Amino acid sequence: MSLRDDGPSLAVVGVTGAVGQEFLSVLSDRDFPYRSLKLLASKRSAGKEMTFEGRTYIVEELDEDSFDGIDIALFSAGGSISKQFGPLAVEKGTIVVDNSSAFRMVDDVPLVIPEVNPQAMSHIKLGSGKGALIANPNCSTIICLMAATPLHRRAKVTRMVVSTYQAASGAGAAAMEELELQTREVLEGKPPTCNIFSQQYAFNLFSHNAPILSNGYNEEEMKLVKETRKIWDDITVRVTATCIRVPVMRAHAESVNLQFETPLDEDTAREILESAPGVVVIDDRASNHFPTPLEVSNKDAVAVGRIRRDVSLDGDNGLDIFVCGDQIRKGAALNAVQIAEMLL
C-alpha cells in the first residue's frame, strides 16, 4: 500500500480516459505514496465507482473547488479542460502535471522528460505552498527524445528527420474501440463505422488527424519540431516530421534519421543507448528481431533498434534508428507520474 500520511494529496483529472486509467495503473505499479486520492472527471462520469488499491472511490465532477487541499494534480482531460482548470488549481497551491498541449510552449512552464531535462523543473518545490504548471510533452516527442537525447549529448544532433507510425490510443480509448469495431466490420464485408476518424482506419493508414497549419505541417508534426527545441534548450536543432496513424492499438513507432555535429559510430551509439535510463536496445540483426509496437505495449521502456550508420552521409555523421514506445505509458501517464515522483 502506498497510502501514507507523509505522501502528497493527489488528484487525477480525466480519470475515466485511456491515460487517466493508466495514471492509476502506473501510480500503483510504482508504489507512489499519497495521503489522499481524488478522482475527477466530467459530469457524465461523476458518481461512477472505481476501485484502486483495495479502496472504492466515487468519481467526482471537476469544478472550481476540486483542488482545495490538493498537492499534485495529474491532468489528462484535453487542452480546453487544462486551460480552464489548470490555472485555478495553481492558484490553490496545486502543482499540476498536465498531459495536454495547452501549456507546453508557454515560456515559464517546464516541459519535462525526467530522463532528459529534469533540471527544467528544479525550481518547483512540493510543500512550498506555491502552485505550478509542469507540462508533459507530446507522446511522439517523448518517445523520440528518449532515444535521441543520449546520442545528442555525445555528438550534438544538428538535424532530425522523423516519420511516425502512431497508434490508435493517441486519439483516446474511443479510437481504439473504433479500430477494433472497424476491423470486425471490414472482415465481415460491412462498411466501417467512422465516428472518431473520418475514414477507414482498419487495414489502412493516414496522415495524422491533427489540423494542418499554414506551413503545411500538422500540429502533431510541429510539436516534434518545437518541443524538441524547448526540451533540449537548443533553438538551433533542425527537425522535420511526418506523422502517420497506423492500425496499431497502443504503442507508437518512429523512424528517426539523425545528423550529428561530431562523428558518432554505430557501435558507440549502441553502447550509449544500452546504458541510457528508460531505454532498451532490441537490435538483433541475425534473427531480424527489432522493436515492435506490440513488444513494447504495457512496458515502461522505450525500445530502440535498427541502429546503423546512415549510408547517405559521409563518415559517421549520421545514424538511422527505429524507436517504439507505449503511447499511453511512457508517452503519457508514466512520464507524468515520473515528473510527480521528482517532486517528492
- Cell 507524468 sits on residue: 336
232 binds a copy of itself (CB under 8 A): no
- Nearest distance in Å: CB 154, a copy of itself: 19
Residue 240 binds to a copy of itself (criterion: CB under 8 A): yes
Region binding a copy of itself by CB under 8 A among candidate stretches 15-23, 89-97, 105-113, 235-243:
235-243
Q: Which of 88, 105, 246, 343 binds a copy of itself (CB under 8 A)?
A: 246
- Out of 144, 152, 208, 252, the active site residue is 252
Active-site annotation holds for 139? yes
Given 8, 114, 293, 331, the residue binding a copy of itself (CB under 8 A): 293
- Count the neighbouring beta carbons within 10 Å of the beta carbon of residue 42: 16
> Is residue 56 close enough to count as binding a copy of itself by CB under 8 A?
no
Q: Which stretch binds a copy of itself (CB under 8 A): 25-33, 43-51, 215-223, 271-279?
A: 215-223
Retrieve residue 177's grid coordinates.
Answer: 474501440
- Residue 34 in 3-state DSSP? strand
Q: Which is nearer to a copy of itself, 59 or 256 (CB)?
A: 256
- Work out whether 235 is an interface residue with a copy of itself (CB under 8 A): no
Is 42 a binder of a copy of itself (CB under 8 A)?
no
Q: Which of 209, 327, 335, 338 is in the footprint of a copy of itself by CB under 8 A?
A: 209
Q: Which of 160, 196, 302, 328 binds a copy of itself (CB under 8 A)?
A: 160
DSSP state of 59: P
- Residue closer to a copy of itself by CB (options 9, 242) is 242
Q: Is 331 in the site for a copy of itself (CB under 8 A)?
A: no
Minimum CB separation from a copy of itself for residue 20, in Å? Answer: 23
Q: Cell numbers at residue 8, please? A: 502528497
Please, where are the H alpha helices in 111-192?
139-155, 173-187
202 burial type by CB count under 10 A (0-12 exposed, 13-18 middle, 19+ buried): middle
Cβ-proximal residues to 312 (8 Å cutoff; 6+ apart), any chain: 318
Q: Quick one: DSSP state of residue 121?
A: G
Residue 226, burial from CB neighbour count under 10 angstroms (0-12, 13-18, 19+) = middle
User: What is the DSSP pairing of strand 251-260 with strand 318-326?
Assistant: antiparallel
Instruction: Specify the residue for cell string 490553490.
Output: 92
Residues whose CB is less than 8 angstroms from the CB of residue 200 and which lie 6 or more positions away in sequence, other chains included? 182, 186, 192, 194
Residue 194 touching a copy of itself (CB under 8 A)? no
Active-site residue, from 139, 144, 243, 324: 139
- Compute how many residues bind a copy of itself; rule: CB under 8 A: 58
How many CA atoms lie within 13 Å of 69's alpha carbon, on the beta-carbon side? 7
Rg (CA), the chain: 20
Binding of a copy of itself by 187 (CB under 8 A): yes
Give me the active site residues, please. Answer: 139, 252
- Site residues for a copy of itself per CB under 8 A: 159-161, 163, 165, 179-180, 183-184, 187, 198-200, 203-207, 209, 211-212, 215-218, 225, 238-240, 242, 244, 246-249, 253, 255, 257, 266, 285-286, 288, 290, 292-294, 305-313, 318, 320, 322
